[in-house]
Structure 1
Amino acid sequence: MQNILILGAHGKIAQLATKLFLDQTDAHLTLFLRNAKRLTADDPKRETIIEGDADNVADLTQAMADKDVVYANLAGHNIEAQAKAVVAAMRTAQVKRLIWISTLGIYDEVPGAFGQWNHRMLDGGYLETYGAAAKVLEAADDLDYTIVRPAWLTNNDEIDYETTQKGDAFKGTEVSRKSIAAYVVTLAQDPTAEVHHSVGVNKPNTDGDKPAWY
């Protein structure tokens, strides 16, 4: 049985992933968030909810004790500081496996008109900070990290995705949060999958100048 720590457990993708972990695996989940009152365990025997700050190394280190996988679903202007804290805590706690949710566009890998639109929407503090956080992880080659770069997110109740690697042109414009959650569960079950890779994730056949729903 795996012990999995979910950072930013109140996030929409994280909550979907929690349900999939409970449905599809026998893992025990530790749900880490700033305000623990925002979550209620569906299965108290397999879920532990703890309160902590994702840029506090001591909080993170304590939460990581005896964990096999850290799945980070973090966000905010301080995402680079959070990445540094997560890396430091993982080293102290001697945890290797990290799955990190980032965003498309951090390598200027989105081509054409959609890439230009994505820059207009996300430049000015978002792409820059998420790109800086990714650099922190990519420098931590002692950790078995996987960076996940989703396309623009939908709430569609579907699991339908394809992937690209860093250095490839990003495909598509959108992907469901449920698809990203399913991909996280898949990565967590295989400690060798996409280690030291940064993976773009999109729904097939959604190419365009911007997401169809935008």
Structure 2
Amino acid sequence: MKTERKRDVMTNVLILGAHGQIAQLAEKQLLQETTHHLTLFLRRASRLTVTDPARETVIEGDATDPAALVKALAGIDVVYANLGGKTIEKQAQAVVQAMDQTGVHRLIWISTLGIYDEVPGAFGRWNHQMLDGGYLEPYTAAAKVIEGSDLAYTIIRPAWLSNKDIVSYETTEKGEPFKGTEVSRKSIADLVVQLINDPDRAVGHSLGVDQPHTEGDKPSFY
């Protein structure tokens, strides 16, 4: 899939968790293919190197702090949350609170496969073995927070992530069985960019994302 270029539409994008691998890939693609301004929010700003100071603003802050998020949301059109960790539910609550307070509605939220027990067969059992007991549960709780909000959200549920230099992916909807076992980070970044460029697309949807023809008992790199 190739991202549509919308050179004539400038969007102010807040990237939460901007040091993440997918976030950095999305940032690079956005700078190359759009005129959007990017606000990069992360806990330790020193970890990022700004490549285009005219289009990038870095804010140091904690995504569990609604007040910090409210400040970062000034003038923002779209929020892309690339957050994680054991506090992901608290982060989701803070993001929803801050977006409600500031009137920013569009949210792209990265989650994980398996939050609806939607992964079938042997791969689903393997996925549970790998992710149950501290990982899947908080991501499931966080997704419920997002889905229970009145935000214009899209939840992205990637398959197991690879660093392959390819953009190749397909999507499934909530309520449908998950398909493949893996997907490249570059593919997820491309989907994020597409959603930022077309903010009316997939609103209220939870998208499973995998690389076609990767069905199996587990990802190829395991």
Q: TM-score, structure 2 length as denominator?
A: 0.95
Other structure's SS at 2:57 match = strand
Task: State the AA in 2 paired with 1:125.
Answer: G
Task: State the AA in 2 paired with 1:204.
Answer: P
**Counterpart residue number, 1:6:** 15
Q: Identify which of 1, 13, 17 aligns with 2:26.
A: 17
Matches within 5 A, 1:191-202: 191-202=199-210
**Counterpart residue number, 1:62:** 71
Q: Percent identity?
A: 68
Task: State the AA in 2 paired with 1:146.
Answer: T
**Counterpart residue number, 2:221:** 213
| CA distance in 1 between partners of 2:31 and 2:199 (Å) | 19
Matches within 5 A, 1:3-152: 3-140=12-149, 142-152=150-160
| CA distance in 1 between partners of 2:165 and 2:220 (Å) | 17
| CA distance in 2 between partners of 1:207 and 1:57 (Å) | 40
Structure 1 runs (4+) deviating above 6 angstroms are: none
Q: Identify which of 171, 180, 184 aligns with 1:163.
A: 171
Alpha-carbon deviation of 1:112? 0.1
Q: CA RMSD in A?
A: 0.5
Other structure's SS at 1:146 match = strand
Gaps of 5+ in 1: none
Aligned residues: 213
Alpha-carbon deviation of 1:191? 1.7
Q: Deviations over 1:187-214 (max 9, x none)?
A: 1111211111100000000000000111
Q: Deviations over 1:91-123 (max 9, x none)?
A: 111100000000000000000000000000000
Task: State the AA in 1 paired with 2:42.
Answer: L
Q: TM-score, structure 1 length as denominator?
A: 0.99
**Counterpart residue number, 2:197:** 189
Alpha-carbon deviation of 1:40? 1.0
Q: Deviations over 1:60-97 (max 9, x none)?
A: 01001110000000000010000000000001111000
| CA distance in 1 between partners of 2:134 and 2:143 (Å) | 14
Other structure's SS at 1:201 match = strand
Other structure's SS at 1:178 match = helix
